[in-house]
């Protein structure tokens, strides 16, 4: 299933448009969790590193790829954890009044 250049560009362009429209609607209240969440999602780059290491085509690829997996995994784990911790803190005023 090969992607050619033009298809890739289409995918990128459409994703960027969706990104703009969806993210424009995120309340400024949540801009910090937004950044930590997109950062965690961005770490999906780990799949590229996994394939690189798993195929084991060269020693260099395996060493650099393993470091890449470490870096990306720490972003996934840390990013989702802190985003959830932050979002848990946002409470509306209604229920907490005695």
Partner 1 sequence: MIARENILEITYLIATALFVLSLKWLSSPVTARRGVWAGEAGMLLAIVGTLLHGGIVDYKLIAIGLVLGTIIGVPLGRVAMTAVPQRTALSHAFGALCVTLVGTSEFYLRAPNVPGFMMGVLSLEVILGALTFTGSLMAAGKLQEVLPQRPITYKGQNFVNLGLLAIAISIAVMLVLHPEKMYLFPFMIGIPLVFGVMMIIPIGGADMPTVISLLNSYAGLSAAAMGFVLQSKLLIIAGALDGASGFILSVNMSKAMNRSFTNVLFGAFGQEQVTVAGAKEARPVRSASPEEAAGILTAASKVVIVPGYGMAVAQAQHKVRELYDALTKRGVDVKFGIHPVAGRMPGHMNVLLAEADIPYDKLLEMDEINGDFPQTDVALVIGANDVTNPAAREDTSSPIYGMPILDVDKAHTVMVIKRSMGAGFAGIANPLYYLDKTLMLFGDAKNFVGAIVREISGGHN
Looking at residues 53 to 92 of the shown chain, list those that interact with partner 1 (rule: CB under 8 A): 53-58, 60-62, 64-92
Torsion of CA 96, 30, 21, 2, to 10 degrees: -120
Q: Which of 15, 14, 79, 98 is nearest to 41 (CA)?
A: 79
Residues 19 to 38 in contact with partner 1, rule: CB under 8 A: 19-20, 22-38
Shortest Å distance, C-beta 17 to partner 1: 8
DSSP H/E element including 57? none
Shortest Å distance, C-beta 6 to partner 1: 11
Told to check if 6 binds partner 1 by CB under 8 A, we report no
């Amino acid at each position: 299933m090969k992607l050619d250049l033009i298809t890739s560009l289409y995918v990128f362009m459409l994703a960027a448009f969706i990104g703009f429209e969806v993210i424009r609607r995120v309340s400024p209240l949540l801009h910090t969790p937004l950044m930590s969440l997109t950062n965690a999602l961005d770490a999906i780059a780990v799949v590229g590193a996994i394939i690189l290491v798993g195929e084991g085509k060269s020693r260099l690829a395996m060493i650099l790829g393993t470091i890449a997996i470490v870096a990306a995994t720490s972003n996934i784990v840390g990013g989702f954890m802190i985003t959830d911790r932050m979002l848990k803190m946002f409470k509306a005023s209604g229920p907490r009044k005695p």
